[in-house]
Structure 1
Amino acid sequence: MGRATVHDLARAASVSLATVDRVLNRRGGVRAATIERVEQAVDRLGYRRDAAAATLAKQREYRLAFVIPTGVNSFLASLALEVRKLADVLRSERVFLSIVEVPPFDGEALVEALDRLQSQPLTGVAVVATDHAPVRLAVGSLAARGVGVVTLVSDAPGSGRAQYVGIDNSAAGRTAASLMGRFLRGVSGHIAVVAGSMLLRDHAERRFGFEQVLRTEYPNLIALPAVEGHDNAAVAETALGIELDRHRDVVGVYSLGAGNRGVLAALRKRGLAGTVCAIAHELTEHSRAALAEGTFAAILCQDPGHEARSAVRILRALADNRPFDAGQARIRIDIYLRDNVP
């Protein structure tokens, strides 16, 4: 099979050549969903742009660091894997990606990692941020040095970052509540909420959106104060178990972070699997199995590959002082039920 062409991309993505050209050259006027279709075609067909040759001719290098928490969070592990895949693909275009690992839920370690990056010859930084003052200051310091910074998954507005790349987490929480209300129509009781940490902006926004919809549209369902599982299965199991034992009228569980194995264990141990309506985030090996067996009613998901690619596109545009389409950074919220799980 010969090298893929723009004509192949247009056919694979079911778009015009003009649209392919606009996406490849990062011009505006293209819907986010269409951009994603073209990018998926690029990945699937192994298309290599002529821009690579132009970049080589200019001897332009892009050195981009991704700061990602380590641990047992399957989604963040998937994000890191997507970055590594991109690193292999983009090396020929003189785009060099590195991953800086930090402990989860450790703001001091995150600040130290960002401070260390200031002494490195970086073009841009993508960071899974926590929204507190020292992190915002560290991000602002990098930006002041001319390093483009984007936040991933969880935002830190007011920090000097150029763009947030991720889903609308308030909308995700509202979506979870809307699903919960529909699944539990005519039922009254408490909803247990399990977060990783309420210090994370994405978790706080999901909780806000969730309670907003329950209070206004489903007053028969009362959200309990969120318990923190720190994305750890054992901690999440204990925290949720205490809630289930304390409140015997729990009719639903919203797991808005990681630690879903602990959520499942707490439900199964009490014989509540499949009887309590449970909604969670991210399609992993364990959540997929729970969805198939009916323990989880729905999974809200975001595409880590889309996030990684969008972050790289924006950081390259910032380095070249080119405009970028902010719409490309808006990641869609996928909803999976047992009937449509891939």
Structure 2
Amino acid sequence: MAKTTLQDVAREAGVSVATVDRVLNGRAGIHARMVDRVKAAVERLHYEPDRLASRLSRARDFRFVAILPVGTNDFMHSLQREFRTLALRHAAERVGIEIILVDVFDGNALAEALERLPQELDGVAVVALDHPAVAEALNALTARGVTVVTLVSDLPGARRSHYVGLDNHAAGRTAASLLGRFIGPRRGKVGLIAGSLQLRDHIERQFGFEQVISGEYPHLEVLPLREARDDTARVEAAARTLLDENPDLVGLYNVGAGAQGVVAALEATGRAREVVFIGHELTEFTRRHLIRGTIAAVINQDPGHMARSSIRVMLALRENVPIVPDQERIRIDIFIRDNLP
């Protein structure tokens, strides 16, 4: 069958091609009855716009920005690489992708980076901090017509269009179930290390983790959480303090990045494999220590999927086409020594 064209829709609706184009692109100034006629014709003919052709005919390229954290976070480095790959791939399709690195743990610095974004911007994907200045900056971007996607860590109180990331509450519950089962009947204390309690993904993981431990593993005592800004040296210091102050520590959950710091502390104190360590993200480092047994399990989110999903979602929202929820759902992957890819 021949592909339905814009001209076919115009003929079916009894309007001009220019009117069809204006309706499909959501432009103002079209009478409601005319909009209904065009939409009815689109539905009858099962018309699907040629998104690439439309993109190539635009007066300017789509312009997207990904705002990611600076620092020692291996997962974020992987996310940077995935966005760079997408930038090269999409350049021929008139889609520009820029990466900006910011200290996302500093709310004012992140807000200032958002406020400095250029006027001719179509969309931004940002690892969001739960901070009033950040929320205000995201709201201002949305108000001027920029598509805002929160990435990895959500900020639902702000006027963002979509969130790309894990169900972090479920990720924390999963970590607790794994840790409880690995520890078994042993009694003792469990340590928690997070990057920041201003990152919603870390808050949600902590909440889910503590829910399961308190409800299903009453023989384990969760110690107060320590913040380490996802920095390897700070994570090591926090883990070392937990180990030194708690000889009955039997488990440790690192909510964010910095697995190298936990491993260094466990090995320095001679308690590797004695203390059950659950972390996040499959990297070369965590893979090596899963095999060695220093890390019991890793909860992973695919950085390639997240980067591709961010761009797909922003393009879909700009081109007024539906988002496919199942395609954009970020899965919780669980890796132990025996199922590494």
TM-score under structure 2 normalisation?
0.83
Q: Measure how far apart 1:51 and its partner are.
A: 4.5
Q: Measure how far apart 1:275 and its partner are.
A: 1.1
Distance 1:137 1:329, change over 3 A: farther
Tell me the residue number matched to 1:34. none
Are 2:104 and 2:129, in contact at CA under 8 Å, matched by a contact in 1?
no
Tell me the residue number matched to 1:160. 159
Once the two structures are superposed, what CA deviation does each residue of 1:52-98 show, in whole Å capped at 9, x if it has no partner? 34421345621100011111111111111100000111111101100
Does 1:294 find its partner at 2:293?
A: yes
Tell me the residue number matched to 2:61. 61
Does 1:318 find its partner at 2:314?
A: no
The gaps in structure 1 that reach 5 residues or longer are 1-49
Amino acid at match of 1:97: I
Which structure 2 residues correspond to residues 191-340 of structure 1 after superposition, within 5 A? 191-340=190-339
SS of residue in 1 equivalent to 2:338: coil
Distance 1:204 1:233, change over 3 A: same
Larger radius of gyration: 2
The gaps in structure 2 that reach 5 residues or longer are 1-49
Does 1:103 find its partner at 2:103?
A: yes
Q: Measure how far apart 1:223 and its partner are.
A: 1.2
Tell me the residue number matched to 1:36. none
Does 1:180 find its partner at 2:179?
A: yes
Are 2:104 and 2:127, in contact at CA under 8 Å, matched by a contact in 1?
no
- Dislocated runs of 4+, deviation >6 Å: none
SS of residue in 2 equivalent to 1:253: strand
SS of residue in 2 equivalent to 1:151: strand
Distance 1:51 1:319, change over 3 A: closer
CA distance in 1, matches of 2:306, 2:67: 13
CA distance in 2, matches of 1:122, 1:208: 36
Are 1:53 and 1:93, in contact at CA under 8 Å, matched by a contact in 2?
no
Are 2:205 and 2:255, in contact at CA under 8 Å, matched by a contact in 1?
yes
Identity level (%): 53
SS of residue in 2 equivalent to 1:154: coil
Give the aligned length: 293
Tell me the residue number matched to 1:46. none
More displaced 10-residue stretch of structure 1: 52-61 or 163-172:
52-61
More displaced 10-residue stretch of structure 1: 318-327 or 67-76:
318-327
Are 2:300 and 2:335, in contact at CA under 8 Å, matched by a contact in 1?
yes
SS of residue in 2 equivalent to 1:66: strand
CA distance in 1, matches of 2:163, 2:131: 16
Amino acid at match of 1:289: R
Q: Measure how far apart 1:149 and its partner are.
A: 0.3
Q: Measure how far apart 1:109 and its partner are.
A: 0.8
Once the two structures are superposed, what CA deviation does each residue of 1:215-243 show, in whole Å capped at 9, x if it has no partner? 11111111111111211111111111111
Are 1:173 and 1:210, in contact at CA under 8 Å, matched by a contact in 2?
yes
Once the two structures are superposed, what CA deviation does each residue of 1:218-272 show, in whole Å capped at 9, x if it has no partner? 1111111111121111111111111111111100010111111110111001111
Are 1:71 and 1:104, in contact at CA under 8 Å, matched by a contact in 2?
no
SS of residue in 2 equivalent to 1:230: coil
Tell me the residue number matched to 1:86. 86
Q: RMSD of the TM alignment (CA)?
A: 1.5
SS of residue in 1 equivalent to 2:229: coil
Q: Measure how far apart 1:106 and its partner are.
A: 1.2
Which structure 2 residues correspond to residues 36-47 of structure 1 after superposition, within 5 A? none
SS of residue in 2 equivalent to 1:339: helix
CA distance in 2, matches of 1:134, 1:103: 14
Tell me the residue number matched to 2:9. none
CA distance in 1, matches of 2:89, 2:51: 14
